[in-house]
Amino acid sequence: MLKKLLVLLALLTPVVAYGADKAKDDEPVEHLTDEQIYEQLKKLALVFEVARDNFVEEADEKKMLEAAMNGMLQALDPHSSYLSADDFKEFNDKSLGEFGGLGIQITSDRGAVRVISPIDDTPAERAGIKAGDYITHIDDEPVFDLTLNQATKKMKGRPGTKVKLTVISEGEEPRTLTLKRAIIKVESVKFEEKKMAGFEDDEDADKIGYIRISDFGATTAKELNKALEKLEDKDVIGYVLDVRNNPGGYLTAAIDVADAFLDSGEIVSTRGKRPNDIERSFAAPGDLANGKPVVVLINHGSASASEIVAGALQDNGRALVMGSQSFGKGSVQQQKPLGDGTAIHITIARYYTPSGRSIQNEGITPDIEVLQSKIEVLERRESLYSEASFKNSLKNEEAEKKDKDKSDGDDDKELTDEEKDALDYQLQRAMDMVRAMVKLQAHADLIPATPESIAASESDEGDASSEDEAE
């Protein structure tokens, strides 16, 4: 039995060696010799046998060994883990864009479960769970003794069944939420033309293309291309690309999304363990937004693939990034099947923005920080000093009738999409910025030529002509 265990554990040795260089700068790695590794594997097998033979109850050998492998991988970083056959199948099902559960992306944080972000229009999002929240109990069971995969599995279940979560938000008391599980269908891209709050009924008001990407899946790039095509037909003046609370997804999807807005330039580079493990991705010619102004909205729930897109458009000068500091997950994971239906989910590289910035633990810093805020109107649209302010001024009967009708219909009325947009401070400021960028472009086109600029232009043309003749 011991010999078989040593053979099994020896198969995992390359994984240990591969991840050994992944260490914090202040904790240098002390590499083991082959003989020392063999001695440690023998000790691990001995621990297994002693624990199995002496535990007060019947030991579950499979559970013990899977926990040992999972612990080995989670010692590398929070995103590496062992996937059982069921876990691996669920992971692949989720990648197809439909799965059962609560619609919540989580990570491990010092033994607790932390929310990266809820997925749009899911039980978790509707219950008010936010990026940065901590989940401490699932069905009254503490999560501190659970692996990330175990915590995820406990939150999943048959649609229609309920699960109870204890959630802690920053600066608030713990609260208990009961959520009903549902089939989670991830619709990556939603889009529409929007107008600034207060101008929805103005036919001449500027139309801005709003694109919300909630997840980077297998079909995201295709959905985005269709969205851009339809919005271009609407003659929008520019775009707001909203990746707030987007936890990430496929690296290839992020590259394709950034490429849709770029005509050239580097999008991202991934750098692995070895000096020559570098891959660079570049944009192909063709900006599907036709050079129109773009503002990217991010917040602390924007992670991984979202940060790749924001960083690529920011570094290439193609978009302004607004909002708050992003999550800071600058690593790439890959599934390595083990041949028996199981796999390991392991971090294989870090990614860097075109300017060479690593986002790991730092995130993307917005060009313009705009924290989500509640708008308080300090100035009336109608002046306090006007004809209506005079004593005994004539009334406008039609206006009084409209005010009465409006007040009669306001009771217990659910907010419309336009009213929700008006309360989204970051979105309103992003649309403000798009309009400002359009006007700035128009202003630059109208600047009259000066003698100096004409002379410089003629000089450039002469140089180009000389070069052509030399060829």
Catalytic residues, which ones?
A: 304, 315, 329
Q: Which two tokens stand for residue 302?
A: 């924007």
**Six token digits for residue 138:** 């699932």
Burial 280-313 (b: 16+ CB within 10 A, else e): ebebeeebbbeebbbbbbbbbbbbbbbbbbbbbb
CA distance 15 to 390: 82
Helix (H) or strand (E) holding 203: none
In three-state form (DSSP H/G/I as H, E/B as E, the rest C), the secondary structure along 8-54 is HHHHCHHHHHHHHCCCCCCCCCCCCCHHHHHHHHHHHHHHHHHHHHH
The amino acid occupying position 447 is I
Under 8 Å between Cβ of 272 and 333: no
* Structure letter (DSSP) for residue 111: T
Round to whole Å and give the CA distance between 370 and 356: 25
**Burial readout 190-228 (b: 16 or more C-beta within 10 A, e: otherwise):** ebbebbbbeeeeeeeebebbbbbbbbbbeebbebbeebb
Alpha carbons 364 and 384: distance in angstroms, whole number? 44
DSSP-derived pairing of the beta strands 134-138 and 162-168: antiparallel
The per-residue DSSP string of 349-413 comes to: EEEE-TT--B-TTT-PPPSEE---------S-SS-SSSGGGSTTPPP-HHHHHHHHHHHHT-TTP
Pairwise CA distance, residues 251 & 215, whole Å: 11
| Closest CA relative to residue 182, chosen from 125, 229, 140, 263 | 125
* Cβ 293 vs Cβ 106: under 8 Å: no
160 token code pair: 């229609």
